[in-house]
Structure 1
Amino acid sequence: MAIIGLSGNTSFRIGSKPNESVLGFSLPESRDAPGRKKYWVCPEASEGFERFVAGSFDNVHLTRRVLFWGLCKAAQQGLHPHDYQLPKSGFYEELAFNFTRHAEGIEQLQVQPYLLKTTSQFGWLVDFHFRKNDDVEFSRRVQQLSLSLDSSFKRNLDCYLDRFNKIQSFVSQRRETIDQVSPPGSTNAIRTSKQFAAIASTRLRSKNYMFDGMRENRSQFGGLHQIGPLQKVEGTPKILFAFRERDRHAARTLAMALRGTKKRERFSFPGFESLFKTDIEIDGDPIVLDDLSTKSFEIALRRVQEERKSNPVTVPVFVLPDSDDNGYLGQKAIFANAGIPTQACTLRVINDDYTLKWSIANIALQIFCKAGGQPWKVRPTKDRSLIIGISQSHKLRRVGDKTEVEKYFAFSVMTDNSGLFQRLQVLGEDGSKEAYLSSLRTNLAKVLSEESQEFSQVVIHTSFKLRREEMRVIEETVQSASSSESENSCRFAVVKVNHKNRFFGFNRDTNSLVPYEGSVAKLGGGEYLVWFEGIFPDKPTVNKAFSGPTHVSFLHRSTDDSIADEALLQDLVNLSGANWRGFNAKSAPVSVFYCHLVADLVQSFQQRDLPLPRVQDLRPWFL
């Protein structure tokens, strides 16, 4: 783990002043009395404050804050302001040391105080970060500086090794500053370990994919090609192209790629029919758009609706230009509002043979799913569970120099624990926060009550995007459902899944430092790090740039505590392989990943005053 441990049980002196009306840090009233009170806390001597000697574990939140104060002070006293960056918010405990500067941005070592609960040890959580300049567009050079691409702008297969070396080098260069951190009231610096903390890990079962006849394979593409899809499309899917006249040639190229060739001489794709064991029809009378306006998309919608009367599995495929305002959101919103999923492909992808070669299989996969097919599922854990991913996509507005919520919007994406998409459902939608939270509570309670009759377990996966009051409503609603459903066998749990975190870990047993797929490190207090992708003990070769760990927190479980940690974690690993957006697509649990896709789209629809998707949908239109 990229955590530098602190030695010993640190004590420090602070100023404290009782204040009954203001929330502050809770501390013991005295060293001998068991009671606690909330205090204003000041790190330096100040009028009206009393001196208080606190131990590290009197309040761990305060200890982290004190360590952060000390780190900021050491940086300010020992470094030029050019060499470090303090957080803009006073509530965020992270300092960035600046290193190499580029035209695109700056390489940083980000440091924050942390308590490793499994060992009861405070330390510094450190990670490499490339901070892009605000006026620089995202590019391959930015990806290269972020270590996701190598020096030749290809996938960086040594990303773990490169990241480790960056962190180690940067820590070494700032070791003197870090070792100057001292608590308030002390002249003695806090000792830090010279090595990163080692944490024991276990390994969950690897993902196995299930196809036609419930036969299994470790490869998504290989299993689909050799065995066939889990469920074929009912009927023959018809692709109806929509494009501007100037893009007709590009549409023909895409149609040719989807049909494929036996020798795969151009696209390395066997063809839609060969891969999905399903015939495909390409409509010979495509929709020619006058432009990319709302009016043109509405005309296209009426044509598609007419075609679907005779063939319900007609999928419109739009060929769009590369510009930011290329009509993608317009066509997606208008058709999703009518309950019809669309597929879009840009000219940049179609006109570049190399890009199309590696994209066409994923495009075909998305079309297959939007036509109603199910390519695969993941071998689930023993108990049949409903997984409810919950996120929000509020409509925001600027009022002066502040951002306010104009409209609150929360929704759920439901799958079972094999990863099969069930439906998308709105849980709350209102301009008033109070009314929104009330409807969120009511609708979620209804979902839990209904689904508890069918599933033995209902597990909620929450996104990091949810706000504190939303999380409170969810936890209280699940707590209530756990009590009211006590006579049934259904069990409930709430799990928070956060892939945006500062954690990173390395596997010292391999030259690449890449952890094994399914590795789990216990942090304590119901918190874990999980690697949804990685190498295998029998196949240690690195063939892609693997992502870092996901931080998982268990927030609630049924009172009987009968859902084991391992089962909840295994479901998360399984769901990370159920992503139908592409072969070997982003390895994140679909319960959360699909939520993020929908949230981003809905927020874009709202900001542009486009229609919202149909309230309940049974097909993954958002892929």
Structure 2
Amino acid sequence: MNNIPIRLNFFALKNQNISFRIYRQDFNGQKKQDGYYRTKLPINDSSDTYAEYWVTTQPKDGFERVYCLGSSNPKLTVRIMWESFLDRVQKSLSSDEYILYGNGFSRKVAVIIGRHREGNEVIQIEPYYLKAEKKFGFLVDFAFKKAKDVPYSIRVQQLSLSLNKYGKSNADYYSDKLDKIKFFMQKFKQRLFPFSLDNEDYDIENELYLMRSYPLKRFITKRCTCTCHESMLAVSSRTRSAKRWIFRYPYPRRFISLILLFVPSIFPFE
């Protein structure tokens, strides 16, 4: 079936025309300093040529001020969004209402929506760039953070939504998660959004982002008798054309089949 609507756990920004002021200096092998990011940017507004720079959000000697479009470097834009959103969180919520996970690899906040003896119900929220749709926004997800001194139990699994109130497997797991996200939006959206970036306010949509799904191509796999690699014969069901792909590592067949099943775009048949 084509074009099945699917809602992602992603709230897109209403205004996608993001721009912000940044200060940059040509990268010439200098050592990194606190508050600097090393990244690539267009050499000027009208150029498609990129160069490496040290960038910072604060004025520095030897740095030039430029205005950067969000689309010029989505990864940098997400980082700038995080700093502005975190500032809004810290000004709008008390310290006991959220847990900060920000570090060099992960930038997210867990907002507490329910407290129990066994732990806290939280909504984790982080800025994100949805590359497939070229949209900036925020990922959201429900989680249960168990208290350290509490053992795992049926009650903990129920609070985690993996079990229902009868202690059975929760068939309504995803709809229950959606209810938690809706509760978060009702209680916290106006306190966290819009956030300000370079004197411009950015709000999120009220509904989760809707995408259209497309069917995966079917593939036929065939194992080679050679012991040093797996040989895959992948056939496109649309064009019936075939290409042979050699994997130079002895992956299990079921693992390679999963690659073919879930990542068909890496095999350019058409």
Gaps of 5+ in 1: 206-380, 387-415, 417-444, 458-487, 495-529, 531-551, 565-623
Tell me, in whole angstroms, the C-alpha distance in 1 between the residues paired with 2:247 and 2:73. Answer: 28
Instruction: In structure 2, list runs of 5 or more residues that go unmatched.
Output: 1-7, 31-36, 235-241, 249-260
Evaluate the alpha carbon distance shift between residue 10 and residue 49 of structure 1 in structure 2; reply closer, same or farther with a 3 A threshold.
Answer: same
- Is 1:5 paired with 2:12? yes
Change (3 A) 1:553 1:133: farther
Measure how far apart 1:138 and its partner are: 2.1
Shift of 1:174: 1.8
TM-aligned CA distance change 1:162 to 1:182, over 3 Å: same
Q: 2:212: which partner in 1?
A: 200
Matches of 2:264 and 2:80, distance apart in 1: 27
1:384: which partner in 2?
Answer: 221
In the TM superposition, 1:28-427 aligns within 5 A as 28-183=42-197, 186-203=198-215, 383-386=220-223
CA distance in 2, matches of 1:83, 1:176: 15
Q: Compared with structure 1, are the counterparts of its residues 554 and 66 closer, same or farther at alpha carbon in structure 2 (3 Å cutoff)?
A: farther
Residue in structure 2 matched with residue 490 of structure 1 by the alignment? 244
Residues of 1 paired with 2:265 and 2:199: CA distance? 40
TM-align CA RMSD: 3.1
- Asked if structure 2 preserves the Cα contact closer than 8 Å seen for 1:493 and 1:556, the reply is no
Q: Greater share of helix residues, 1 or 2?
A: 1
Q: How far, CA to CA, are the matches of 1:43 and 1:29 in structure 2?
A: 18
Alignment partner, residue 254 of structure 2:
none
Residues 151, 119 of structure 1: alpha-carbon distance in 2 compared, 3 angstrom cutoff: same
TM-superposed CA distance for 1:102, in Å, is 1.6
* Cα shift readout 1:415-454 (whole Å, capped 9, x = no counterpart): x9xxxxxxxxxxxxxxxxxxxxxxxxxxxx9722xx43xx
Q: Tell me if structure 1 keeps the 8 A contact 2:221–2:233.
A: yes
Relative to its length, the structure with more strand (as a share) is: 2
Letter in 2 for 1:456: L
1:200 offset after TM fit, Å?
0.6
Q: 1:146 to 1:20 in 2, by over 3 A?
A: same
2:228 aligns to what?
447
TM-score by length of 1: 0.35
| Deviations 1:109-155 (CA, angstroms, capped at 9, x unpaired) | 11112222333211111111112223332221111011111122222
SS at match of 2:201: coil
- In 1, the alpha carbon distance for the partners of 2:191 and 2:25 equals 31
Q: Tell me which of 18, 24, 42 is aligned to 1:16.
A: 24
Identical residues among aligned pairs (%)? 29
Q: Quick one: distance in 2 between partners of 1:16 and 1:553? A: 37
SS in 2 for 1:162: helix
Structure 1 residue 59: deviation in Å?
A: 0.4
Could you tell me whether the CA contact under 8 Å between 1:104 and 1:142 is conserved in 2? yes
CA distance in 2: counterparts of 1:14 and 1:198, whole angstroms: 32
Q: Give the TM-score of the pair, scaled to structure 2.
A: 0.76
Deviation at 1:44, TM superposition (A): 3.2
Output the amino acid matched with 1:5.
A
Matches within 5 A, 1:509-528: none
Q: The residue matched to 2:133 in structure 1 has which SS?
A: coil
Partner AA of 2:228 in structure 1: V
